[in-house]
Amino acid sequence: MGTFQEASQDMDVEALARNRKRYVTMMVVVGIFGGGLYGYTLTFLSGALVTMNFDGSNNQLSAWNQSIITAVMLLGCAVGSFCGGNLADRLGRKRLILYGALLALVGALMCALATNIAFFAFSRMIVGFAVGTTSCVIPIYLGEMAPSAQRGRLVSVNSVMINISQLLASLVNAVLAVKADWHAMVWAAVVPAVLLVITAIFVHETPSFLARHGMETEAVKLLLETRPKSEAEETFTSFQAAEKNETKGTRENFSTPWLRRVLIAGVGAALINQLVGSNAINFFAPTMFSSTLGIDPDNSIIAMVPVMIVSSVAAVIGGLGFIDKINRRTALMIGLGGVSVFLALVGVCYLFIDPNHPSTSMSWLLIGLVMFDLAFAQGMVSPVTWLLIAEVFPAKVRGKGVGYANVAMNAANFIISLLFLPLLNAVGGAVTFFIFALINVGAVFFTKAFIPETRGKSLEKIEQEARARTAKAEA
């Protein structure tokens, strides 16, 4: 691999820098439609489940069947994340985003055409595999393309759009619940896949992938187009150092002490993302409002709209407003603290709710508490954890590391989705939400012990500090 000066000597640095705004726009678009596909696909089913059936009757699916067709997608997500992480370093970020988007489109069409619950569940698993792949690769793409000063906001576009698309899914469901039926809700989920397919066609490969596959000149050109020259040179030098280490035979993997600690931090951040319980609420809130609070099924779908508005506003404020202004660890611990408090209060609220004689005031109090819980979860916990997953892994294991983290995230989401409604029916809302509150208290201590501070640091600086922490601990 030649030097940065050799690769850039015939390049017009000022002309290349003028392309920076165009690349930032492309990153934003990828984040919008990538996060949009993930969030919409995860959430739209919550509205369809209220009236979904395949036998032509008005009978609602059983709690177990609802859990299965929700959870199988997340099982597919886990497998897709594993495959995406392992293939990202071989095939490249661009190809996997495109392949994942195309497969999501096929799966969404299969769901819309399904005539029985078995085929619908199979189709959801295919969609899950596709979305698992794109949700793994897109944060890698954004993290590697973005300059360090803007990385927080640009990567967070993905997580913010997950929340906004969840709101959009709730709004679309609310309209279709009145104007059409659950079939239309399933057809509407085809649109986000189409948008990501179109976007993926115009995506460029990342500098890291180009450099690691012998395309140094292209990598330097892209670095100069996406960040200041000094940062571009520092980043390219880190690529050279990594290649020299591998050439010398000093290959490192997750059994190496410092990388093992990085893996614990990345996987831990992914698990925290799910253990706040926000996805369980997004998936099953209409069913929960209907069965526990006595709200009419169609109105329970409409009741989700203000909940998702609060969630989306919090995501925008947190993910785009202060993500690069407040230390990651501080924001994460504040968010987890708020989630713990409000989950506990939701549990207390359930102690005073009688499903047989629902109280309107108590019902709206519970919905209000859920809003505050989601404000902390989506405004602080979610954007920070998605960002940390993209930041903490060094370049040589980033694909696998982010893949493992996403496997853990989707596996946790799968388990929670499968067990949430049965647990709610078996032990009641109070015990269920008290359990989630205690888990989040534990997550605060985990954050303090294992999550590194990454704000304002280049990916290369984050790697250097990770090495130094382990060396200091072993000294």
The answer on pLDDT for 248 being more than 70 is no
Token readout for 15 is: 């002309």
Phi-psi map region of 214: left, alpha, beta (phi>0 left; psi -120 to 50 alpha):
left
pTM across the whole model: 0.75
Sorted by where each begins, the domain ranges of the chain are 15-474
Name the packing angle between helices 297-316 and 360-376 (round to 10°): 30
The answer on pLDDT for 281 being more than 80 is no
Phi, psi of 148 (to 5 degrees): -60, -35
**What is the pLDDT at residue 410?**
81
**What is the pLDDT at residue 28?**
93
**What is the pLDDT at residue 419?**
81
130 closest CA partner among 183, 196, 191, 187:
196
**What is the pLDDT at residue 37?**
94
Residues 310-319, mean pLDDT to the nearest whole number:
80
DSSP, collapsed to helix, strand or coil, labels residue 347 as: helix
Fold topology of 15-474: Growth Hormone; Chain: A; (1.20.1250)
For the chain, percent helix, then strand, then coil, each to nearest 5? 80, 0, 20
What's the rounded Cα separation, in Å, for the pair 24 and 14? 17
**DSSP letters of 412-465?**
HHHHHHHHHHHHHHHHHHHHHHHHHHHHHHHHHHHHHHHPPP-TT--HHHHHHH
Q: What is the 3-state secondary structure (H, E, C) of 21-48?
A: HHHHHHHHHHHHHHHHHHHHHHHHHHHH
pLDDT in tens, 65-113: 887 888 788 888 888 988 887 788 788 889 999 999 999 999 999 999 9
Residues 258-266, mean pLDDT to the nearest whole number:
92
Residues 13-19, mean pLDDT to the nearest whole number:
87
What's the rounded Cα separation, in Å, for the pair 362 and 376? 22
**What is the pLDDT at residue 358?**
64
pLDDT in tens, 330-379: 999 999 999 999 999 988 988 887 766 766 677 778 888 888 888 898 88
**What is the pLDDT at residue 296?**
64
Specify the higher pLDDT residue, 380 or 318. Answer: 380
**What is the pLDDT at residue 287?**
65
What's the rounded Cα separation, in Å, for the pair 207 and 300? 47
pLDDT in tens, 364-375: 788 888 888 888
- pLDDT band (50, 70, 90) for residue 267: very high
Per-residue CA distances from 233 to 4, 155, 198, 201, 205 (Å) = 6, 22, 32, 29, 18
pLDDT in tens, 40-58: 998 888 778 777 877 766 6
Phi, psi of 144 (to 5 degrees): -80, -30
**What is the pLDDT at residue 249?**
47
The answer on pLDDT for 257 being more than 60 is yes
Q: Could you report how far apart the first and last alpha carbons of the chain are, in Å?
A: 34
What's the rounded Cα separation, in Å, for the pair 230 and 234? 6
The answer on pLDDT for 421 being more than 80 is no
The answer on pLDDT for 449 being more than 80 is yes
- pLDDT band (50, 70, 90) for residue 119: very high
C-alpha dihedral (203, 208, 211, 214), degrees to nearest 10 = -70
67 closest CA partner among 41, 49, 47, 48:
49
The answer on pLDDT for 155 being more than 60 is yes
Q: What is the 3-state secondary structure (H, E, C) of the chain?
A: CCCHHHHHCCCCHHHHHCCHHHHHHHHHHHHHHHHHHHHHHHHHHHHHHCCCCCCCCCCCCCHHHHHHHHHHHHHHHHHHHHHHHHHHHHHCHHHHHHHHHHHHHHHHHHHHHCCCHHHHHHHHHHHHHHHHHHHHHHHHHHHHHCCCCCHHHHHHHHHHHHHHHHHHHHHHHHHHHHHCCHHHHHHHCHHHHHHHHHHHHCCCCCHHHHHHCCCHHHHHHHHHHHCCHHHHHHHHHHHHHHHHHHHCCCCCCCCCHHHHHHHHHHHHHHHHHHHCCHHHHHHHHHHHHHHHHCCCHHHHHHHHHHHHHHHHHHHHHHHHHCCCCCCHHHHHHHHHHHHHHHHHHHHHHHCCCCCCCCCHHHHHHHHHHHHHHHHHHHHHHHHHHHHHHHHHCCHHHHHHHHHHHHHHHHHHHHHHHHHHHHHHHHHHHHHHHHHHHHHHHHHHHHHHHHCCCCCCCCHHHHHHHHHHHHHHHHC
Token readout for 120 is: 């619908």
Phi, psi of 147 (to 5 degrees): -70, 155
236 closest CA partner among 470, 469, 11:
11
Please name the residue that has the structure tokens 């078995």: 118
